[in-house]
């Protein structure tokens, strides 16, 4: 629905066609990480969660009075939407096959107490997506972290952004377009088929866009996939190789997030 910011034309496509299109690094598709934290419960149980508006003025006022460190406000995109509408969009799912992924083996390093991959590799974090009316977070997060990792592992890939739309349109085994996808399993598509750039197949926020894209690129494939299941291994992996992907359980207040640092609370939408 929304205009997607499309990365400006990638300078020289030929360089992506190098023979070395299988990358030998670990990707962390993780199954069971839910960031539960900090914020107090911000609204009562009696509010009829599915019928209330996303831009619920009571919730917004409540956040702005009580939340520490962040502010809420009306979000134009959700004008007139109820929580139920958002829920219908679907979202990230985790299959029951996550256990079949092998656990990552990591060297024994101790990351510093504070580490932000965006500060460590600023050249590798340029794009922020507007998903539009499409539950594409599974595709954007996965394509995004592979993009970040290609850049981190090889400076030649600084300008490359892999196509989240390709996952939306082409991954039909574990992905269901704009209705969500299985975050732990869609990696196998990238291992088998690979992803082209988002110049070759731009983001359309549309799950029924046909699986069809430019034919002059060699898709980038993953060499291996593994799972991280402890907070310690996730920290080490990010420190060593960059972003991982994990599902997060959100509360309604996330949708009216405006600014500052949001604490994600442990209550499902």
Ligand X SMILES: *[C@@H]1O[C@H](CO)[C@@H](O)[C@H](O)[C@H]1NC(C)=O
Q: Where on the chain is the footprint of ligand X (CB under 6 A)? A: 1, 133, 178, 206, 208-209
Minimum CB separation from ligand X for residue 208, in Å? 4
Instruction: Give the separation between CA 118 and CA 144, rounded to whole angstroms.
Output: 13
| CB of residue 198 to ligand X, shortest distance in Å | 17
C-alpha torsion 74→50→88→188, nearest 10 = 90
Name the minimum Å distance from CB 53 to ligand X.
Answer: 13
> Is the CB of 70 or the CB of 81 nearer to ligand X?
81
Q: How far is the CB of 178 from ligand X (least distance, A)?
A: 6
Minimum separation from the CB atom of position 73 to ligand X (A)? 19
For ligand X, give the closer residue by CB, 24 or 208: 208
Q: Using CA of residue 242, residue 247, residue 249, residue 254, what is the dihedral sign?
A: positive
- Tokens 């299941």, located at residue: 229
CB of 132 to ligand X, least distance (A): 9
Closest distance of CB 80 from ligand X, Å: 8
CB of 44 to ligand X, least distance (A): 27
Quote the tokens at residue 42. 């911000």
How far separated are the first and last CA of the chain, in Å rounded? 23
* Kind of pairing between the strands at 180-182 and 22-28: unpaired
Report the C-alpha gap between 126 and 119 in whole angstroms.
12
Q: Which is nearer to ligand X, 23 or 201 (CB)?
A: 201
DSSP state of 157: G
Nearer to ligand X, 1 or 109 (CB): 1
CA distance 228 to 226: 7
Tokens, residue 226: 């593994």
Q: How far apart are CA 195 and CA 181, in angstroms?
A: 16
Shortest CA distance to 64 belongs to which of 55, 56, 52, 72? 72
Q: Within 32-82, where are the H helices? A: 57-66
Comparison of 157 and 169: residue with beta carbon closer to ligand X:
169
Which residue's CB is nearer to ligand X, number 51 or number 119? 51
Q: Which is nearer to ligand X, 139 or 178 (CB)?
A: 178
If the CB atoms of residues 2 and 103 are measured against ligand X, the closer one turns out to be: 2
Adjacent-strand bridge partners of 72: 257
CA dist 252 and 269 (Å) reads 6
């Amino acid at each position: 629905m929304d205009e997607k910011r499309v990365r400006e034309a990638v300078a020289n496509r030929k360089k992506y066609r190098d023979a070395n299109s299988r990358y030998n690094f670990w990707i962390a598709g993780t199954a069971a990480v839910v960031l539960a934290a900090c914020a107090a419960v911000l609204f009562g149980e009696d509010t009829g969660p599915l019928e209330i508006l996303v831009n619920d003025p009571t919730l917004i006022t409540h956040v702005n009075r009580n939340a520490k460190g962040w502010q809420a406000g009306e979000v134009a995109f959700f004008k007139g939407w109820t929580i139920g509408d958002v829920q219908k969009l679907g979202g990230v799912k985790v299959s029951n096959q996550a256990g079949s992924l092998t656990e990552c083996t990591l060297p024994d390093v101790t990351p510093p107490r504070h580490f932000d991959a965006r500060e460590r590799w600023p050249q590798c974090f340029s794009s922020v997506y507007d998903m539009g009316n499409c539950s594409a977070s599974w595709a954007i997060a996965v394509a995004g972290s592979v993009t970040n990792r290609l850049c981190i592992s090889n400076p030649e890939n600084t300008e490359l952004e892999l196509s989240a739309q390709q996952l939306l349109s082409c991954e039909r085994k574990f992905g269901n377009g704009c209705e969500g996808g299985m975050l732990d399993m869609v990696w196998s598509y990238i291992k088998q088929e690979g992803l082209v750039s988002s110049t070759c197949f731009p983001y359309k926020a549309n799950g029924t866009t046909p699986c069809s894209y430019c034919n002059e690129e060699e898709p980038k494939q993953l060499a291996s996939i593994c799972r991280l299941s402890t907070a310690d291994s996730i920290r080490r992996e990010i420190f060593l190789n960059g972003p991982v992907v994990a599902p997060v359980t959100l509360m309604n207040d996330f949708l009216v997030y405006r600014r500052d640092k949001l604490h994600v609370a442990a209550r499902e939408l």
